[in-house]
Amino acid sequence: MSNLRKGKVRLLQGNEACFQGAIYAGIDFYAGYPITPSTEIAEGLARELPRIGKKFIQMEDEIGSIAAVIGASNAGAKAMTATSGPGYSLMVENIGYAYMTETPCVIVNVQRAGPSTGLPTKISQSDMMQARWGTHGDYTAIAVAPSSVRECFEETVRAFNLSERFRTPVTVLTDEVLGHMRELMTMPKPGELEVMERPKPDIPADWYRHFEMTPSMVSPMAALGEGYRYNVTGMTHDREGFPTAVPSEINEKLNKLKKKIERFADEIYKVRTEMMDDAKIAVISFGTVARATHQAIKMARERRVRVGAIQPLTIWPFPDPIISDALKNVKKIIVAELNMGQMVNEVKRIAPRNAEVFFLGRYDGEVMTPQQILDKIREVK
Amino acid sequence: MEKEAVVKEKEVQRSNVVHHYLRPKKKFPNVWCAGCGNGIVMGALIRAIDKLKLDKNDVVVVSGIGCSSRIPVYLDFNTLHTTHGRAIAFATGVKVVKPRLKVIVITGDGDAMAIGGNHFIHACRRNIDITVVLVNNKIYGMTGGQFSPTTTAGAFATTAPFGNYEKQFDIVKLASAAGASYVARGTVYHEQQLEKLIEGAIVKRGFSLVEVVSNCHTYYGRLNREGDAVAMISWMKDHAMPIQAAVKLPPEKMVGKFVTGLIHETDATEFCEEYDKLVERLKAKEAQK
Amino acid sequence: MKAAAEQKKKEDRYEIRLSGSGGQGLILAGVMLAEAIGVGDGKNVVQTQSYGPEARGGASRSDVVIAEGEIYYPKTMKLDILLALTQEACDKYYPDLKENGILVVDSTMVTQVPTKKYYGLPFVRLAREEIGHVMVANVIALGAIAELTGIVTHDSLKEVVLGRAPRGTEEKNQKALELGFSAARKLKKEVKSRG
Ligand SMILES: Cc1ncc(C[n+]2csc(CCOP(=O)(O)OP(=O)(O)O)c2C)c(N)n1
Ligand code: SF4
């Protein structure tokens, strides 16, 4: 039988891999509103979810979509939405509600160029800061950034895991090129990738507190209708979930939002390094650009330039310790990204004092080419 | 004398019922001004649920932001106090995932008609089995008396200092036209009727709306010289016209009055049921293969 | 991490662009080509595309990068093969073609070819006159490319084209593909005899 008919390896689009990853992770509910270049995710789930008895709904807008996702998650569902810049902008108020109410959910942002309607069919990485600081107030965000079709699958699974494990929204930052490009992929078998479930209470309803303090700082979470009858509010609340104005309770709540993630950040960090062992120059990039970087350092190495690559797959919390460790012996650092300078400031914050940081940006809707990066390497060498 | 005792006894029973559904450890007193209609709406909702003998665990009450939207926080059900205008969208997610739960939304005229208007009409259109209790006090109470989409023409509000020159939504007509299955209007004066209307709304399959004409004497009353809570609630008594009587009256007799009761009712396909049917259809197709 | 030996190995990337105007089925053609080469023939592939604003109409292109090893940069850098079904596409993308790259054009649509070294076949006319359906011009072109360049096996291409053809159009597509093979075979002979 030919490979084609065996169907083990498939040619898959990034957006398809993303929704297949969601299914692998056990998605129960999807709500969304169409927007280029993310629409294939909604289309795929509209087709697949009813077939497996799971729920799909196209809402009237992105505000409603994320609201429905949060409602569904509180009802016990693993829930996701997907969008692009304009939609994410509409969602941020309710994403803040998810942070505050510690509601697990996954938001995929297939980035396109902005601001505003911008370039619907063109690539960008200008929403990196939005993924961290999009909504108002203080909180700590998790965001992951795949760079291949396979990673679109894997990182979506990981996003679900992290969101359930930490009871928090997680953003998957992909981009137009990644979302639409097709690559070969072997579908992971059940059990091959880890799939996590949210912590559930194992105490009587009378003792249950929806925002209990625990050693892990993550509270077990009962679903609506399971007999626990708790209150959820976006107002700053006490452990039971009732609005509070007591300074000590306010402090406890906000510290919890921050520390439940920061203390366990080692479980969240994921960074890929290439040829960093002897590197004097490092190129740091994520997503689609990381692939141009890999190509560029290959070309530079052929010219005997000691250059390596660092690629954060966890973009938030920014993997400070891992990246600064990788940068220990580096003298020059190039940060390459498709925006006017976002990640570069994170890198500057942690770069060794004697290393110089250079920014290489592109924001004309095109992918950064290996040649551009190579030129920059030569320039700073 | 005896009759009075019976009435009193009844009153005590009614208030006991309410206490049974309030959160025991909650930090009362509540946030409302004394005499606010929100308390009456809360009582009516509780009694309707009690009459229906619903299991507390199966009731989810979702609200947005506003004075009225604080109601769920005091109730011993599953309660979601969400963001301004979005309660119906949150509730949609809950209902779709767990259709067996009774999902009730408490919202205000600003919450549901202004910022949340889009979610409101689309939930009507989908005819999803949610009950919406919309407390219409014709003003933004929580933020201190700005005009809302239902503020009467000419009425004063802090952002309509020269009188409101905008037009109003007729919530009942809007919901009916958008596809709701059950559309009713009650008032906080007619408490027993309100109980019945809410009860009917919960029982009805599909999207149900109960608009509750309520009082915000603190802002609307003061700014428009309509008096205190008692005066405003008495006004409802004098100007409400039950639908049964209203249909028989010539239009000129209806001037200045508003219709109450169950105003519109239809049967149509319901969102969650249709989705389940789709799932079954696909399953059968799969089995055939 | 790649072994040093492999690092030094000559670049094994091979890049193809299928271009024309929106609605000619070039994106689908690119997907079919990538699937045939990747899944069918077992090479590594990445397929990308370029859309006009909001995904509809205008010039359209679909790129396929092929390699034995890993493909890092997913977009094309220098084309080995360019198919152009319109003059606009030919003018726009010819500069991206390698010096000794292969240019294949629709000979009725592209009247001003920027080089003497090219293959020309009337794909759209063949589709209309021989198959009775302009929509299969893309499949004829795929057949021709397979025959002219050997970049994909005929078997894999056939399997993918038939697998993806809408029900009821299998025969038309099969005919179109065979027509692509045979027209290109004839052309190759002509070119050879011309020297
Ligand atoms: C996005 C957003 N905009 C504005 C507000 C401020 N806000 C809080 S309540 C409210 C109006 C509430 O009015 P209504 O729904 O009529 O309820 P009421 O307080 O009268 O019961 C407004 C504008 C908010 N909380 N969120
Ligand atoms: S401000 Fe108005 S609506 Fe709010 S509690 Fe007071 S009376 Fe009620």
Q: Percent of chain B scored above 70 by pLDDT?
A: 98
Q: Kindly give the number of the ligand 2 atom that is closest to the alpha carbon of B144.
A: 1
> How many distinct structural domains can be found in chain B?
1
Name the residue with tokens 């000129």: B252
- Answer yes or no: are the C-beta atoms of C74 and A297 closer than 8 Å: no
Q: Nearest CA to CA, how far is A97 from chain C (Å)?
A: 31
Task: Report the 10 Å Cβ neighbour count for A245.
Answer: 8
Q: What is the pLDDT of residue A4?
A: 73
> Could you tell me which chains touch chain B, where touching means 3 or more CB pairs under 8 A?
A
- Answer yes or no: are the C-beta atoms of C177 and C140 closer than 8 Å: yes
What is the tens place of the pLDDT at every residue in C104-132? 999 999 999 999 999 999 999 999 999 99
User: How far is residue B206's CA from residue B203's CA, in Å, rounded to a whole number?
Assistant: 9
Confidence of residue C1 (pLDDT cuts 50, 70, 90): very low
Q: Are strands C44-50 and A182-186 parallel, antiparallel or unpaired?
A: antiparallel
Cα distances from C29 to residues A13, A241, C139, in angstroms, run 15, 56, 7
- Three-class DSSP category at A53: coil
Q: Which of A9, A292, A295 sits opposite C39 (nearest CB)?
A: A9
Q: What is the pLDDT of residue B8?
A: 83
Nearest residue of C to residue A299 by CA position?
A: C7
The answer as to whether A254 is a domain residue is no
Residues A289 and A177 placed together within one structural domain of the fold? no
> Could you tell me which chains touch chain A, where touching means 3 or more CB pairs under 8 A?
B, C
Among A165, A186, A207, the domain boundary falls at A186
Beta bridge partners of B75: B22
The answer as to whether B186 is a domain residue is yes
Query: What residues have CB less than 8 Å from B39, skipping those under 6 apart?
Result: B30, B32
Q: Which of A285, A295, A262 is nearest to A342 (CA)?
A: A285
Nearest residue of C to residue A120 by CA position?
A: C54
Q: What is the pLDDT of residue B124?
A: 98
Q: What is the pLDDT of residue A3?
A: 72
Reading chain A (381 residues) residue by residue, the pLDDT tens digits are 467 777 789 999 999 999 999 999 999 999 999 999 999 999 999 999 999 999 999 999 999 999 999 999 999 999 999 999 999 999 999 999 999 999 999 999 999 999 999 999 999 999 999 999 999 999 999 999 999 999 999 999 999 999 999 999 999 999 999 999 999 999 999 999 999 999 999 999 999 999 999 999 999 999 999 999 999 999 999 999 999 999 999 999 999 999 999 999 999 999 999 999 999 999 999 999 999 999 999 999 999 999 999 999 999 999 999 999 999 999 999 999 999 999 999 999 999 999 999 999 999 999 999 999 999 999 999
CATH number of the domain that residue A375 is part of: 3.40.50.920
Domain of B270?
32-287
The answer as to whether A27 is a domain residue is yes
What is the tens place of the pLDDT at every residue in C47-104? 999 876 534 556 789 999 999 999 999 999 999 999 999 999 999 999 999 999 999 9
CA count, 13 A, side-chain hemisphere, A107: 39
Write out the two tokens for B70. 């604080």
Domain of A350?
272-380
Q: Which of C188, B256, B92 is nearest to A75 (CA)?
A: B92
The answer as to whether A219 is a domain residue is no
**Summary mean pLDDT of chain B:** 95
Confidence of residue C7 (pLDDT cuts 50, 70, 90): very low
Q: What is the pLDDT of residue B26?
A: 62
Which residue's alpha carbon is nearest to atom 1 within ligand 1? B84
**Summary mean pLDDT of chain C:** 90
The answer as to whether A360 is a domain residue is yes
Torsion of the alpha carbons at B199, B201, B206 and B209, rounded to the nearest 10 = -160
Put simply, the answer to whether C55 touches A274 (Cβ < 8 Å) is no
Chain B residues with CB under 8 Å of A72 CB are 93-94, 96-97
Put simply, the answer to whether A53 touches B286 (Cβ < 8 Å) is no
Could you tell me if the CB of B150 is within 6 A of ligand 1? no
Distance, CA C125 to ligand 2 centroid (Å)?
76
**Ligand 1 site-directed mutation target among B142, B188, B214, B223, most atoms within 8 Å of CB:** B142
ipTM score of the complex?
0.96
- Three-class DSSP category at C44: strand
Name the residue with tokens 């790259």: C101
Strands in B208-213's sheet, in edge-to-edge order, are A231-233, B78-81, B59-63, B102-108, B131-136, B208-213, B182-187, B258-265, B240-242
Put simply, the answer to whether C45 touches A121 (Cβ < 8 Å) is no
CA A345 to chain centre: 19
Reply yes or no on whether the pLDDT at B218 is more than 80: yes
- Answer yes or no: are the C-beta atoms of A257 and A98 closer than 8 Å: no
Chain A residues with CB under 8 Å of B96 CB are 29, 55, 57, 68, 72
Please provide residue B59's backbone torsions phi and psi, each rounded to the nearest 5 degrees: -105, 125
User: How far is residue A2's CA from residue A132's CA, in Å, rounded to a whole number?
Assistant: 46
Residues A279 and A179 placed together within one structural domain of the fold? no
> How many distinct structural domains can be found in chain A?
2
Q: Percent of chain B scored above 90 by pLDDT?
A: 90
Q: Which of B249, B214, B208 is nearest to B233 (CA)?
A: B214
Chain C residues with CB under 8 Å of A368 CB are none
User: How far is residue B124's CA from residue C163's CA, in Å, rounded to a whole number?
Assistant: 43
Q: Could you give the maximum distance between any two Cα atoms of chain C, in Å?
A: 54
- Three-class DSSP category at C142: helix
Residues A139 and A31 placed together within one structural domain of the fold? yes
Q: Are strands A271-274 and A79-83 parallel, antiparallel or unpaired?
A: unpaired
Helices (runs of H) and strands (runs of E) counted in chain C: 7, 6
Instruction: Indicate the DSSP class of residue C166.
Output: P
Instruction: Let me know if C194 is exposed, middle or buried by CB neighbors in 10 A (0-12, 13-18, 19+).
Output: exposed
What is the tens place of the pLDDT at every residue in B159-215? 999 999 999 999 999 999 999 999 999 999 999 999 999 999 999 999 999 999 999
What is the mean predicted confidence (pLDDT) over B89-112?
98
CATH number of the domain that residue B105 is part of: 3.40.50.970
**Ligand 1 site-directed mutation target among B65, B82, B118, most atoms within 8 Å of CB:** B65
- Answer yes or no: are the C-beta atoms of A82 and A42 closer than 8 Å: yes
Chain A residues with CB under 8 Å of B118 CB are 60-61, 64
User: How far is residue B81's CA from residue A74's CA, in Å, rounded to a whole number?
Assistant: 12
User: How far is residue B230's CA from residue C170's CA, in Å, rounded to a whole number?
Assistant: 79
The answer as to whether B119 is a domain residue is yes
Q: Is the dihedral of CA B11, B14, B16, B22 positive or negative?
A: negative
Chain B residues with CB under 8 Å of A48 CB are none
User: How far is residue B28's CA from residue B22's CA, in Å, rounded to a whole number?
Assistant: 10
Q: What is the pLDDT of residue A56?
A: 98
The answer as to whether B17 is a domain residue is no
Would you list the DSSP string of chain B? Answer: -HHHHHHHHHHHHHHHHHHHTB-TT---S-SSPTT-HHHHHHHHHHHHHHHTT--GGGEEEEE-SSSGGGGGGGBSSEEEE--TT-HHHHHHHHHHH-TTSEEEEEEEHIIIIIITHHHHHHHHHHT-S-EEEEEE-SSBTTTTSB--TTPPTT--BTTBTT---S----HHHHHHHHT-SEEEEEESSSHHHHHHHHHHHHHSSS-EEEEEE---IIIIIHHTT--SHHHHHHHHHHHEEEHHHHTTS-HHHHTT-EEEEEEEE-----HHHHHHHHHHHHHHHHHH-
* ∠ CA A324-A325-A328, rounded to 5°: 85
- Answer yes or no: are the C-beta atoms of B150 and B136 closer than 8 Å: yes
Interface check for A165 against chain C (CB to CB < 8 A): the answer is: no
- Answer yes or no: are the C-beta atoms of A49 and A30 closer than 8 Å: yes
What is the mean predicted confidence (pLDDT) over C177-194?
92
Q: What is the pLDDT of residue B12?
A: 81
CATH number of the domain that residue A117 is part of: 3.40.50.970
In the CATH scheme, what architecture does the domain C2-194 have?
3-Layer(aba) Sandwich (3.40)
Q: Which of B73, B78, B119 sits opposite A64 (nearest CB)?
A: B119
- Answer yes or no: are the C-beta atoms of B95 and B65 closer than 8 Å: no
The answer as to whether A222 is a domain residue is no
Instruction: Indicate the DSSP class of residue A192.
Output: T
* pLDDT: which is higher, B6 or A313: A313
- Three-class DSSP category at C83: strand
Q: Kindly give the number of the ligand 2 atom that is closest to the alpha carbon of B135.
A: 3
User: How far is residue A211's CA from residue A218's CA, in Å, rounded to a whole number?
Assistant: 8
Confidence of residue B7 (pLDDT cuts 50, 70, 90): confident
- Answer yes or no: are the C-beta atoms of C172 and C162 closer than 8 Å: no
Q: What is the pLDDT of residue C52?
A: 60
What is the mean predicted confidence (pLDDT) over B141-151?
97
Residues A178 and A323 placed together within one structural domain of the fold? no
Q: What is the pLDDT of residue C11?
A: 61
Reply yes or no on whether the pLDDT at B15 is more than 90: no
Q: What is the pLDDT of residue B30?
A: 85
Beta bridge partners of A107: A81, A171
The answer as to whether B15 is a domain residue is no
Residues A279 and A164 placed together within one structural domain of the fold? no
CA A228 to chain centre: 31
pTM of the model: 0.95
- Answer yes or no: are the C-beta atoms of A336 and A376 closer than 8 Å: yes
